[in-house]
């Protein structure tokens, strides 16, 4: 397994290095890549490359960094497109969700049910935090008055999970 990890790391460095070398060699490609409208696509592309390397080397753990990098790239793309940079006040809460997505994918590819379940809880927790912070930090004025209900609901779910979990 360590050998696959080393191969995945080596391929990651080669692919990312090749991309940035291509940008340095080709001024037209560099202008396109750093265009003020589409520059976040570079970050999404690096995340996709990490996922492909994870599949090629059969290193499911690569889905976690791939999801984080792609997710942050997607967030930056949306913020760059909308100009809503202030959403970082609550959008950071999605980053653990990206970890959860990567963990779910890693669990699917490695057929580990507990890993999928853990990733799902991480994703759920992240979405709850995103919704709660987004509602009282100006993301959704309609929900802002009732964000404590989400906090209570999250607490009830965690309590029920703790009380009714199989041993």
Q: Got the DSSP string for 92-124?
A: GGGHHHHHHHHHHHHHHHHT-HHHHHHHHHHHH
Total-model pTM: 0.76
How far from the centroid of its chain's Cα atoms is residue 123's Cα? 10
Q: Over 90: is that where the pLDDT of 106 sits?
A: yes
Q: Tokens 């799902």 identify what position?
A: 120
Residues 33 and 27: their CA atoms lie apart, in Å, by 10
Domain containing 139: what range?
2-164
Residue 93 has a pLDDT of 93
Task: Report pLDDT for 65.
Answer: 95
- Helix/strand number for the chain, H first, E second: 8, 0
- Count of domains for the chain: 1
Tokens of 62: 């690569």
């Amino acid at each position: 397994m360590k050998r696959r990890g080393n191969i995945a790391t080596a391929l990651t460095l080669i692919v990312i290095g090749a991309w940035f070398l291509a940008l340095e060699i080709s001024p037209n490609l560099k202008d396109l890549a750093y265009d003020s409208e589409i520059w976040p696509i570079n970050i999404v592309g690096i995340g996709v490359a990490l996922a492909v390397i994870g599949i090629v080397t059969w290193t499911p753990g690569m889905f976690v960094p791939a999801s984080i990098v792609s997710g942050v790239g997607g967030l930056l793309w949306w913020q760059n497109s909308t100009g809503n940079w202030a959403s970082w006040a609550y959008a950071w809460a999605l980053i653990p969700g990206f970890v959860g997505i990567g963990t779910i994918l890693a669990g699917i590819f490695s057929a580990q049910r507990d890993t999928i379940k853990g990733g799902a809880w991480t994703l759920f927790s992240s979405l709850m935090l995103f919704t709660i912070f987004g509602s009282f930090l100006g993301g959704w004025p309609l929900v802002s008055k009732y964000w404590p209900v989400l906090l209570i609901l999250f607490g009830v779910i965690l309590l029920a999970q703790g009380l009714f979990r199989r041993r």
